[in-house]
Chain A
C-alpha cells in the first residue's frame, strides 16, 4: 500500500483524531435518551460521524487520483505531535507531579523545546509567537512596548526585513494605537509598565 495523496492522508488522520477525541471525552457526561438528550448525546453522535468521515478520507488517500507527496507541512510534524502529547501528559499528570516540581518544570521545558524545534525560524512560528507574546505582554508591559514587540518579532518572520522601515513602522503604529485605540475608542489599555 502506497500513499498517493499525502493531503488526504493527514486530513483523514486529523478528522478521525478530532472525532474520536470528542467522542471519548463526551463519554464522561450523561448520555440521556433520545427524548431527553443529555450533554453527551449530540457531541457523541457527531464525534462518531466525524471519525467515520475521517476514515473515509484516510482510505481515499491510497486510491486517490490526485498525487501529493506525504510531506505536506514545512515543519516537523512528529516533533509537533510529540510536543503536544508531552504538554498534554504533563497537564493530566499535574497532581502526581505536585511532589516533585523539578520534574514538572523539566517536562514543560522539554515540551517547549520540541515545539520550537518543530518549527524553526519559520514565518508561521514567528508570526504566531509574536501574537501570543503581545497577548501576555499587553497588561504587564503596556500597549507601547507590547506593540513594538509584536511588530519587530512578526517582521522577522517576513523574508524582507529592513531595519529603518521597521523602526518607522513601529513608531507610526504605536502612535496610531495610542491615539485611536486608547484616546479615540477608549479601550482600557495601560500605555506603560505598571500603570
Chain B
C-alpha cells in the first residue's frame, strides 16, 4: 500500500513536473490569485471563460490549470479580506473579521504572511489527504448503487441548507427551486422536453454557468452599485511582512486545527472552502483565550485561512472518486473533463492514473508557487486594489459576457444570464441565500435519475433507501443534521454565528 502511494506519487510528479504542465499550473495559480484579489469576479466566471480554450489542451494540462485557478483564488481572496475588509472570494468572509482589524493596527504584514503560511501548510496536508483517502474511497464508490448515490446527494443538499445564512425554511425552498430549475430541458429517460416552452435553446437544459454567473456575478455587481461600496485600502501600511516568533507560536495550533477541520469538511458534498472556514473560526473561538477575537487575533486569521485552503483541495475528492460535484467550481471541472471525453467517477483513478496523480502532484507544486507569488509580490496585488470600482465593474461585465457567449455562441444564453441576474438581485433583496439553489441546480438531474433507477430496482419499494446499509447511514446523518439545526439551542447559536 505504502509502496503504491510512493509509486503513484512518482507517476504524478513525473507528469506535473513536465515543462508544459508547470507552465499551465503557473498560469492557473496566477490567474487564480488575480481574480481572488479582484472582488466581483470569482473562479466560476474565470473557469467558464477558459473552458472553450481547454479544447486545445491535453486533458491533464487543462485540469491542472483549472484546479490552480480555484485554489489560487483562495490565496488571493484573503489579501483583499485583510487589506480592504472585502472578501475577494466568498470563502474569505471570515478572514475579514480579525485580518482587517490586524491591518488597522498596522499589522497587515504579519496577517498576510500568516495567511500565506497557513494556506501553504494546509495545502500540503490536503494534498497528502487526497492521495491517502481517494483510492480507498474510490473502491467503496465502485460498490455504490443508485440508492447510495441518491442518499449521498440528499446529504449534500441538507448540508448546504443547514449552512446557508438566515432562515432555514427559505434555504430549503431555495434548494428545491434549484432542483426544479435543474430539471429544465430534455428528460433523459423519456426524451421529452420539459419546461422548455417550445424553445429549442432550452432543450439541453440551462447551462449552470449561466445560472451561477447571473445569480452570483451580475447580482453582486448591481448590489454593489446600489450601495456605492466605499473602500479603505491600507496600502501604505504594509511594512514588515515577517511575523514574529510569538505570532508563529500563537497561530501554530490554530493552523493545525484549521487544516484538520478543513480537510474533513471539504470531503462532504456541499462542503468545500466556505463551510470549512466558518467551522474553523467557530471552533477557534471556543478554545483558549478568546478575549481578543474580532479585535485582531492572529488565530482568527490562521484558522479560517488554513481551513479554506484545505477544504478547497479536499473538495476534489468527491469529484475524483464519486463523480459528484460538491460545489459550482467542481461542476465546471466535470464540464472540463467531459470536453476531454473523460467520464468523471471512480474509474478515472484506475483507467487514467497519470491524470489523477498528476493533478494531485500539481496541487502541491501550485501551492509552493502561490507562496512565492503572494509574499514578495504582495505590493503588486495591493496596487490592483486601488483601481476604482467604476472602472472595474464594466471590465468584469465584459469578461462574464464573453465567458457566457463563448459557451455555445448563442445570444440567447447571454439574455438568460441577465434574467438570472435579475432573479439573483431579487434573492438578495428578499434575503434568500443563493448557494443552496446552485447546488440543487447541479444535483437536480442526477438525483432524479438515481431516484428513478433505485425505485425501479426495488420495484417501487421506497424503504430501500433505509435498508441498504451505506444509504441508510447517509440518510441517518442527513436527518440528524436537520434535527440538530431545528433544535432551539443550536438555532440561537447559528443565528449568532451568521450575524458576525
Binding site for B on A (CB under 8 A): 7-8, 10-11, 14-15, 18-19, 22, 25-26, 29-30, 33-39, 42-43, 46-47, 49-50, 53-54, 56-57, 60, 72-74, 91, 123-124, 127-132, 134-136, 138-139, 147, 150-151, 154-155, 157-162, 165, 169, 173, 177, 181, 185-188
Contact = CB atoms under 8 A, between A and B. Distances in A.
Contacts of A60: 169
B226 A124 contact: yes
A20 to B, nearest CB: 11
A56 B171 CA distance: 13
Nearest to A130: B397
Q: Lowest 5 A-B CB distances belong to which pairs?
A: A135-B414, A35-B460, A123-B225, A135-B411, A53-B173
Contacts of A157: 225
A138 B169 CA distance: 42
B401 A50 contact: no
A34 B460 contact: yes
B180 interface: yes
A50 B432 CA distance: 14
B194 interface: yes
B466 interface: no
Given A60-B169, A74-B226, A131 B397 contact: yes
A56 B173 CA distance: 10
A136 B169 contact: no
16 contacts: A7-B430, A11-B432, A19-B176, A26-B194, A46-B183, A57-B170, A73-B426, A73-B429, A127-B225, A130-B397, A135-B415, A139-B411, A157-B225, A169-B391, A181-B402, A185-B52
Contact of B221 (A18, A36, A127): A127
A158 B393 contact: yes
Given A29-B192, A35-B456, A15 B225 contact: no
Contacts of A57: 167, 169-170, 173
Interface stretch (B87-95, B120-128, B241-249, B416-424): B416-424
B490 to A, nearest CB: 18
Given A60-B169, A131-B218, A131-B418, A37 B180 contact: no
B394 interface: yes
Contacts of A123: 222, 225-226
Contacts of A29: 187, 190, 192, 194
B176 A150 contact: no
Contacts, number: 179
Of listed B52, B177, B179, B412, residue having the most chain A CB within 10 A? B177
Contact of A158 (B189, B390, B405, B432): B390
B452 A132 contact: no
Contact of B398 (A30, A124, A129, A147): A147
A157 B391 CA distance: 12
Given A25-B195, A132-B418, A49 B176 contact: yes
A50 B413 contact: no
Contacts of B395: 169, 173
B222 A124 contact: yes
B190 A54 contact: no
Interface in B375-409: 389-391, 393-395, 397-398, 400-402, 404-406, 409
A136 B175 CA distance: 32
A129 B160 CA distance: 32
A121 to B, nearest CB: 12
B153 to A, nearest CB: 13
Taking each of B173, B190, B393, B451, which has the highest tally of chain A beta carbons within 10 Å of its own beta carbon? B173
B6 interface: no
A133 to B, nearest CB: 9
A124 B422 contact: yes
B201 interface: no
A19, A127, A131: most-surrounded residue (chain B CB, <10 A)? A131
Given A131-B421, A157-B225, A7 B429 contact: yes
Contact of B190 (A30, A50, A73, A161): A30
Interface string B149-186: 00000000000000000010110110011011001000
Contacts of B173: 11, 15, 50, 53-54, 57
Given A130-B397, A161-B390, 20 more contacts: A11-B432, A15-B170, A18-B180, A26-B194, A29-B190, A33-B460, A39-B190, A39-B192, A39-B194, A43-B183, A128-B218, A128-B422, A131-B417, A135-B413, A135-B418, A138-B411, A150-B398, A169-B391, A169-B394, A173-B398
